[in-house]
Structures are given as C-alpha cells and as structure tokens.
Amino acid sequence: MYRKTWMEVNLDKIENNLKTLKAICNKRIIAVLKADAYGCGDIHVARAVVEAGAQMIAVSSLDEALVLRNEGYQGKLLILGASEASDIPMMIKENISCTAYSMDWVKLAIRQDCHGLNVHLKVDTGMNRIGFRDIHELNQAFSLLKDAQCSMEGIFTHFCCADSDIDLTNKQFARFKEAVESIPYTFPWVHCDNSDATAFFKEDTSNACRIGISLYGISTYAKDLEYPISLYTKVFMTKHMHAGETIGYGATYTAGENEIIATLPIGYADGFIRANQGRKVYVDGEYATVVGRVCMDQTMIHINKDVPIGTPVEIFGEHISLEDMANELHTIPYEIICLISGRVTRRYIWHHQIQDEENSRLVKSLQSR
Ligand SMILES: *Cc1c(COP(=O)(O)O)cnc(C)c1O
C-alpha cells in the first residue's frame, strides 16, 4: 500500500465475537458475509469465521457467492436474496444453496432440472420484503420443489425490529413457528435470528442463527463483544494559517489567528462522506475537528499543535467508536462500514500478526500487468 489510508480488521476479535454469540445461543452459526462482509473483506472474514466454528456462510447474491467459491471457500454457502431461476444450473454446479421466495420464482424454477438444488424456503412474517406470506402457498411451494427433486435444506424468516420491538418480534416468531410446523417435514436448517435476536431471543424452533453486524462488535444486547475494525489515515501536510484565510471548496471555514491545519489523504471517494464536516477525528493524543468541505480525496482538520508529517489519525477505532460516528452522522454502523470503498487498503490481523495488506484495485491491476 502506498496511500496511507487503511482499515484495520482484527480477525482474532471477529473470531472471539462469533464464539461469544455461539455460546449465548447454543446453536449453529450462519455467518452473514454479504456486501464483501460489510466491507471488511469476505474471504478473509470467511476464513476466520470458519475457524471460529461457523457452519454456513450467507451472502446476498449469486455474484457474491461465486466470489467466495472462486477464492477457495468450499463450505456451505447460502444466497439470502433473490436469485434468477435461470441461474439454477450454476447454483447446482457450485453447490450453492438458494432461497425460494415467491410462487413466480418456484414456477420458473421447476421448469428446469432442479435435481440436487439446495433450497431454503423464505417465510415473510412481517418484514414485507421477499418471502411467502401465505401458509397455504408456502406449502404448495414446498411440494412443487420437493417433487422437482430439490433438496429442501432449510426454512427461514427475518425479523424487522429485533433491536427495538419485542412484541413485533414475538408476533413474527409465532407466524414463523406456525409456518414451520405446517409442513410435515424436518428441515435440516431452521433459522430466524439475526445478530440482535441471537443475543436475547430464546426459542427452540430454530436450530441456527444468522449473525452479521455483531461479528464487528455492534450489538443492542450482547455485552463482552470486541471491536475488530478501525479506520486510519496519516497527516501529510500541516500549515499555519493567517486569520481570515479560508479552507477548501466553497470557503466554508475561516481560520482564526495562528490556526494550524493538517491535510489528510481521505475523502468521500473513500466513504468518508461530506457530512463528516465538523466532526471529530483523533490525532496525537487529542481530538481534532474536520474543517471545510470534505473533498473527494483529501480532508483538512484543525489541530491545536503542530504534528510531524506521517502522524496517524484515527477516524474511528479505540477513541471514536463506530456507534458514536454513526449516531453523529444520523445513520447506522452498517452503512458506515459498507461505504468504505475499495480504494482503502485493508490491513488484516490474524493469529496476532499482520497477515495481509490488501488494496483490491491495486492487486487486480498488478495481476493484469
Ligand atoms: C443482513 C441479514 C442478516 C444479518 O443481519 P445482522 O443484523 O447484521 O445480524 C440476517 N438475515 C438476513 C436475511 C439478512 O439480510
């Protein structure tokens, strides 16, 4: 890596978080690694969660599933989202499980050779996204797929408010239980709990939990989770301002007497969005403020004392939590980490050592040289 802006991903801590949650729910764990493991690098996180005991990995699309297969992950792999029925031959060939989510999909699917396709039925219990709302239709879909020689591997639902509304979660769960019990068949995989439900919701209908965000230490209920990810950059220039001079596009900030401004190689193209203007970063033992507009590739901060070129700057991590950053930006931690772009180098720590520094775009370009 040449540009000094990097996201640190501590895979040991991700493993510990998985083990903590597995001990709480005492069920099999499906690690949800969609969107490149929430921006953290799917194959790296995959290796760690498998080592920690995850027995299935879930992603959102066939494209994401194929990335993991191509990178060498050979274990159980489920597409949670919608897939095209026309892609069934590929899913069979690569042994990737898919989700049956509507009668339209089922009808298209059974027109093809489905022999050996692993299917999880999606029950919509109130999220109203994908899935069967009607139990009769769900049963019909089950029979059609089973008759078409699909392997009926699982049944699942997704809670919309596990972090905030226990009554609604209970209602959704009751519908799910009813749906599962309406089908005279024992599914190998029955799953409904996301991270937050895994940490507090006690039920014995499901036999596996799907955890995503809590791998990264974020949880409404679980204590004792660790924070594995941090985002850093480095100061590459400082300058002393005269009173009245302005900073950046739009001249939105005017310096007072003897202000020191440091420039950082991070901007909105890295996922450090413009709404960060006015927020804090942490540098050389104290907090500093982002002043002026965040640019595409650079950001200016106001510091109280001059620091050497190359001084590290924490965007979030030990001193600024991801949760605080999300609150200040009126969003959720998921969005912050998913937005950290491919331009930012990922530094992996695993087995207490720096394993790999990866800048995916640079790596790809070197491979094609
Ligand atoms: C994203 C997702 C999850 C994981 O949710 P977290 O809140 O990150 O644990 C689980 N199930 C489905 C269907 C999802 O889309």
Alpha carbon distance 297, 3 (integer Å): 11
Mean pLDDT of 22-32: 98
Non-local CB neighbours of 367 within 8 Å, separated by 6+ positions: none
In this predicted structure, what is the pLDDT of residue 185? 98
Q: Are 9 and 349 in contact (CB under 8 A)?
A: yes
In this predicted structure, what is the pLDDT of residue 150? 98
pLDDT confidence bin for 361, thresholds 50/70/90? confident
Taking the centre of ligand 1 as the mean of its atom positions, its distance from the CA of residue 299, in whole angstroms, is 33
Select from 205, 201, 159 the least CA-distant residue to 179: 205
Please state, for a pLDDT cut of 70, what percent of the chain lies above it.
100
pLDDT confidence bin for 20, thresholds 50/70/90? very high
Alpha carbon distance 57, 193 (integer Å): 14
Residue 195 sits at the vertex; the CA angle it makes with 194 and 201, to the nearest 5 degrees, is 75
Active site residue 146: no
Express each pLDDT in 2-17 by its tens digit.
889 999 999 999 999 9
39 lines ligand 1 (CB under 6 A): no
Q: Ligand 1 atom 15: the closest Cα is on which residue?
A: 80
Active site residue 239: no
